[in-house]
Structure 1
């Protein structure tokens, strides 16, 4: 199919998506695929149906297939996490050399991360105190077991520094990877031109990793079949009844943050239309819901944030930073509710001091979640700080996959919102781009070409 001549159609508007110069024209598929969101929805519905069939009729081979499909999808995401985080952090730090007032932007970003996390944890505590999620569940302390993965402040602080450079990647110790990347990035900044070959290599490696990750992202509809199907097959619908109040609390809390707190901040702190944010950020939100990984969603999150007017050089710093530290769902709403839930199951009363400790842990310790699926480490960190039994985490693991979907979508939205707020208040946000940002089709175009965005320098104007 030949491309139309230049006279046959007007030139694309500035800033609009267009093929790279000299790129071959894309051929349309013989059978058009439905929109990506429709593929995701179909995958969820099919997964529920197949999971129910496998459990109701005890179809072992189907159950194993669902487990393998879901596990393979998660494993593919995890395979890219280590090197992706390392090179993303290194390049994001070195890219700050092109950003005016870089230290100011970094400080403002961190402040917004902390402020929105505090708001989220307060919402979680309020919902938990109103609804008493642990009362009347029929669960008892005997139903829980101590998790294999634990978190404590000593583990958190001492575990940041790796013992070697290989183990963090093989064991996927994301905090240690972030530490090494930060050291390498800062050293590269100090070396200046001498580090140029290393920076060029890092940009190329990041481009390659993101391109490969785009291919994995396109498997998300298939992965959703396995992930939700496995959950239904293993736990069934009775699980929902035992955890009904707690599940509803987590979803309501995340929805209040997602559709209440963030829109209010966008409107009154930045003077922006909240509906336009959700229109532009939709591809990242739907992928986060299915993949349950902030790091796995990182290429899409950065793309939508840039399309919403955040300068590329600042977004390339804020998004990797947020994907490993900014977790309003997993590290704020959820641990607050989890602590109240576990305390009520074990018959332990909490007082004002405990609630303040929950807020402190949620705001300061959110990096413990490290952008991976699940929030077990953050939950154990919260429970151990309060002196609550860690067996309570075992009570929560069964329902975790269903909760993690909403938590991760909230995480990713918060990461993008904070970058937009900082850019708007520092007067570097392209408000015209924000006003006209639209969703894009993840599976229909060669979005992996956008993976090279970090390698294209772009000077960010000085903050006012």
Structure 2
């Protein structure tokens, strides 16, 4: 071994040790923040709760503020560059394949657990529970689809409609790629790329102080749980939803990673910041900046992959939502006296998969989407008012599963296309 090789090897070893210490220190900060937040939330001091609520709200707003432009700019920048070399189509095809694979699997797992548990009907639906969902019954699923198409350029960004943003960004990116080579085109691409780097600098600043946000989120959650959540007659339904999400999270997705030659423990450790934010923020779109940064910084996912795959996955890869839509729709139909056979379960696996693809990655997005979908089929959705008190917990686990699935898809695609990238 030459002296130069020894020097390079020593430098790599030193950098590896520094990186390992940094990750250990970061994990310690996160764990400390979780413990401190849990203690503060358990104490239940009104002043402390008010402060942590403000901090949690500020963090949620900041991540949402960054997330919408990140989706738009990342897709535009990547499409405008990758399409020219033909790599964009390859990455997109892999992304859609694994998105549909994981989403269909999540819906199928939900159907199997529903059949196995066979939750009992709810005896009564109170007038208050029915009234709590009346205002959403008028929103049909077709209205939801129509709302994705914007009527002006700024509407998607002002309203935070992530599906509309995805549509606009994809159109602009493809349009830029189709332009003839010119100084104007190169200047446009340079501007978008520069703006993208600016956004990621802001993201890294937010991540640097993330433990404070985790402390506030944890305190907020514990104080809410201290108030008590009554499951009552929907305990079995609740168990089916949570069990299907946990099975998908801890068994199915890790198995897919192993089959593709990836270490699920390594990926989970690298994506821990994003999973923590997803759990507490209940918004996969709001978590997107942290998801991209975690994939790039901790797992060395190619930027051309992460900044293309993850924004798309955030809007169409909804494992948790697919399971919730299927299980909740079947539960509502069962309580309405509709007979459920094998064909019903197969049909709803397909419906739930494609409905989840059209869901927005925002808090309670699946809840409102399910009401729109089922009510448009003439099924009474008053029971959703009883589900509402426990949906906060469901939404947390669903969002964490969605982000975990996004992370898995991004890492699989990164491995499969890395040799094909220019």
Aligned to 1:447: none
1:207 to 190, 197, 215: 197
Aligned to 2:317: 326
How far off is 1:402 after superposition?
1.4
Aligned to 1:276: 266
CA distance in 2, matches of 1:247, 1:319: 29
Alpha carbons 1:42, 1:221 under 8 Å: kept: no
Instruction: Render the CA deviation track for 1:120-177: whole Å, top value 9, x for unaligned.
Output: 0011122222223454687557523326557544223322221112222222222222
In structure 2, runs of 5+ residues without a counterpart are 1-6
How far off is 1:43 after superposition?
5.2
Q: Does 1:237 align with 2:232?
A: no
Q: Does 1:196 align with 2:196?
A: no
Q: Does 1:380 align with 2:340?
A: no
Aligned to 1:83: 69
Aligned to 1:461: 421
2:133 to 136, 139, 146: 146
Aligned to 1:317: 308
Q: Which moved more, 1:378-387 or 1:283-292?
A: 378-387
TM-score, length of structure 2 as denominator length: 0.82
Alpha carbons 1:127, 1:249 under 8 Å: kept: yes
Aligned to 1:11: 11
Aligned to 2:359: 369
Alpha carbons 1:302, 1:319 under 8 Å: kept: yes
Aligned-residue RMSD, C-alpha: 3.4
How far off is 1:38 after superposition?
0.9
Alpha carbons 1:325, 1:366 under 8 Å: kept: yes
Q: Which moved more, 1:160-169 or 1:256-265?
A: 160-169
- The structure-2 alpha-carbon separation of the partners of 1:277 and 1:385, relative to structure 1 and needing over 3 Å to count, comes to farther
2:149 to 156, 161, 166: 161
TM-score, length of structure 1 as denominator length: 0.75
Aligned to 1:413: 404
3-state SS, counterpart of residue 239 of structure 1? coil
How far off is 1:74 after superposition?
2.6
- The structure-2 alpha-carbon separation of the partners of 1:47 and 1:195, relative to structure 1 and needing over 3 Å to count, comes to farther
Alpha carbons 1:47, 1:224 under 8 Å: kept: no
- The structure-2 alpha-carbon separation of the partners of 1:424 and 1:70, relative to structure 1 and needing over 3 Å to count, comes to closer
- The structure-2 alpha-carbon separation of the partners of 1:273 and 1:67, relative to structure 1 and needing over 3 Å to count, comes to closer
Instruction: Render the CA deviation track for 1:292-344: whole Å, top value 9, x for unaligned.
Output: 22222223322343443543212221111111111101x21211222233334
- The structure-2 alpha-carbon separation of the partners of 1:72 and 1:420, relative to structure 1 and needing over 3 Å to count, comes to closer
CA distance in 2, matches of 1:172, 1:387: 30
- How many residue pairs get aligned? The number is 402
- The structure-2 alpha-carbon separation of the partners of 1:137 and 1:72, relative to structure 1 and needing over 3 Å to count, comes to farther
3-state SS, counterpart of residue 422 of structure 1? helix
In structure 1, runs of 5+ residues without a counterpart are 1-6, 20-27, 430-459
- The structure-2 alpha-carbon separation of the partners of 1:364 and 1:37, relative to structure 1 and needing over 3 Å to count, comes to same
CA distance in 1, matches of 2:68, 2:87: 29
Alpha carbons 1:310, 1:423 under 8 Å: kept: yes
CA distance in 2, matches of 1:350, 1:10: 65
- Name whichever structure is richer in helix by fraction: 2
Aligned to 2:330: 340
Aligned to 2:3: none
- The structure-2 alpha-carbon separation of the partners of 1:176 and 1:399, relative to structure 1 and needing over 3 Å to count, comes to same
Q: Does 1:301 align with 2:296?
A: no
Aligned to 2:57: 71
